[in-house]
Amino acid sequence: MDTTALTLHPIGELHCRERFPYDVPRQGSLAGDNPAVVTLYPNHGYAEGLRELEGFSHIWLLFWFHHNSCWHPLIRPPRHRRQKVGVFASRSPYRPNPLGLSCVRLVAIEGSNLIVKGHDLLDGTPVLDIKPYLPYADAFPNATLGWTAANETETQCLVKFTEPVQHQLLWLDAKGVCLKAFLLDQLSAEPLNGRRHRLEHIREDGAVLAYRTWRARFDVQEDVVTITALATAYSPTELASADDPYGDKDIHRQFIARFL
């Protein structure tokens, strides 16, 4: 068995507002128009390698899952199944070689920077390679979906926000807290499934969803999920303390002063 080590050198890295795994959906095509910039490292001739790429609407990014330090042969998919599947039958980041592949929309090229949208990467992700997306070679409309075909029959919920919550989400977004995308992704399917989501105070018609140090209260009526309130997970005593392990207490204090 050939176990010769291979050496890879990143050609650049991606910069975006999303810093935590739950800030982005699990597929780039579901990410909407969230922007990012792929910055190629200078002094290697990489910028010249972008010649003629601007004519493509989409590109493949080959990248390194830099937050992962281990792999699992069996994983439990976040959607579709309650039992585990093999890691090679999934797109889980917990792989023997933590390589990721994502198709993103190419918006513009500015020198050695590629402006992209619709990504599922995190800030600081090392980019290993870039390739153009070719519809005639990369798209197979009749391809089978394997175990993910169960998603075709999964009920999708409409996620709505009350007007006060909409204002709060816009304010948080301007502060770099990507809470709206998280709520849309998490609550669009099985919103009251405590095994699938980090839920608190679960009721028959609603619950509270946890996102790091934030909490979102929601109600469920048939297939409609309504986010009714946002709140801090810090207690008054915790907010009064100078200890700030997550570096976000100031935003919480501002949020409370402005909205509560």
CATH superfamily label, 12-151: YaeB-like (2.40.30.70)
Provide the b/e sequence for 182-205 (b: ≥16 CB within 10 Å).
bbbbbbbbebbeeeebebeeeeee
216-234: pLDDT as tens digits = 999 999 999 999 999 999 9
**First-to-last C-alpha distance (Å) of the chain:** 63
Nearest to 57 by CA among 111, 133, 114: 133
| CATH code 2.40.30.70 region(s) in the chain | 12-151
φ/ψ (deg, to 5) at 206: 165, 180
Q: Is the pLDDT assigned to residue 40 strictly greater than 80?
A: yes
pLDDT given for residue 27 in this prediction = 59
Place of tokens 């909409």: 166
**pLDDT for the residue numbered 147:** 80
Please tell me the pTM assigned to this model. 0.76
Asked: is 158-259 a CATH 1.10.3720.10 domain? The reply is no
Span 70-80, pLDDT tens digits: 999 998 776 65
Residue with more model confidence, 23 or 198: 198
pLDDT tens, residue by residue, 156-215: 899 999 999 999 999 998 998 889 888 988 898 889 988 888 999 999 999 999 999 999
Distance, in Å, from the CA atom of 208 to the CA atom of 198, rounded to the nearest integer, reads 8
